[in-house]
Amino acid sequence: MDRASTPPPNIFAGLSLVLDRVAERRDDHAWIDAQARSGDARYLLLDAAGDTLLQRDRHALRWLDVTEREQRLGDVPASLLGLIDGRPHFVLALDDAARTSALAVSLGAPFASLRHSALQLPIEEAALFAYAKGLVHWQRETRYCGRCGATLRLVSAGHRAQCSNAECARMHFPRTDAAIIVIVEHDGACLLGRQAGWPVGRYSTLAGFVEPGETLEDAVRREVAEESGVLVDEVHYHSSQPWPMPASLMVGFTATAHSREIAMRDHELEEARWFTPQQIADALADGSFLPSPPLSVSYRLLAHWLERRGGMDLDDLVAAAGR
């Protein structure tokens, strides 16, 4: 694969182009308070499931302004996401189902999940939703100190959690689980697999979590070998994608196999197959092939490979197939 070509940005990526996370100001309590009370402040509300409010047409996020926040959710702590064009953006996490439901009704704004709304949102808003969802998930899952068991309190504008036990006072930081995802090729064909519980015809690039003591490249080699028995040599970085469902970072790669011999070892996959570009195009047309959802980096890896190896546009193929 031509590493010099630049793939299009993945969904949820590129947030740093518009958002300043102002990490250096997170412990400046006076500044944070002033930003939270500013008339320019915007608040994103997440319910217990990590869903958020959308505008009525479902094509944009429904941000709360400072007045709505103070009048309706003044007792709910806010975590700073950052600044966009100097305007502060916060997230509010509310687990009370009755309150969130009542607020949605009063605002006429539906709740929606990240998975089901991301492709309808502007790119920056989808990325902000993903960022907020990931941060709030960590906050909800990190309630007790792993060293002494005492309760934790959020500090640094929601980006740190400190043990309440003065003798411990351990600081806990947001965590992300690294996972690799790879499109493997050999002599003009790519390796795709499917799990038993997936929709009929769905195939995806291979993926798995990075284990302790592994480089990302070694994780690629191990996961491909475990899932398919295929041995790979060259491994090259492609792109990455935050995947807060619930807390992963998908690191995408391309890899070259020694051969096409398949011998599945861990039985995680129901099937693994080699596909040429034409076989994918034909199978999409006759309904026997279903790619990963366009939301995923797996889709982008396949799209980039098809364009480079077959001169085909995956979006066009999917549209023509009526998927």
In tens, the pLDDT along 72-122 reads 999 999 999 999 999 999 999 999 999 999 999 999 999 999 999 999 999
Taking 90 as the threshold, does the pLDDT of residue 9 lie above it? no
pLDDT tier at 6, thresholds 50, 70, 90: low
Domains of the chain: 15-139 (3.90.79), 142-175 (no CATH), 177-322 (3.90.79.10)
Q: If 0-12 CB within 10 Å is exposed, 13-18 middle and 19+ buried, where does residue 255 land? A: buried
**pLDDT at 4 (0 to 100):** 42
Mapping DSSP to helix (H, G, I), strand (E, B) and coil, where does residue 226 land? Answer: helix
Residues 9 and 295: their CA atoms lie apart, in Å, by 11
User: 194-203 — which CB contacts under 8 Å span 24+ positions?
Assistant: 194/269, 194/270, 194/271, 194/272, 195/268, 195/269, 195/270, 196/270, 199/290, 200/290, 201/283, 201/287, 201/288, 201/289, 201/290, 202/290, 202/291, 202/292, 203/273, 203/275, 203/289, 203/290, 203/291
pLDDT tier at 59, thresholds 50, 70, 90: very high
Mapping DSSP to helix (H, G, I), strand (E, B) and coil, where does residue 45 land? Answer: strand
Query: Closest by alpha carbon to 11, among 192, 239, 167?
Result: 239
pLDDT tier at 170, thresholds 50, 70, 90: very high
Residues 274 and 227: their CA atoms lie apart, in Å, by 14
Taking 90 as the threshold, does the pLDDT of residue 8 lie above it? no
Average pLDDT over residues 263-267: 89
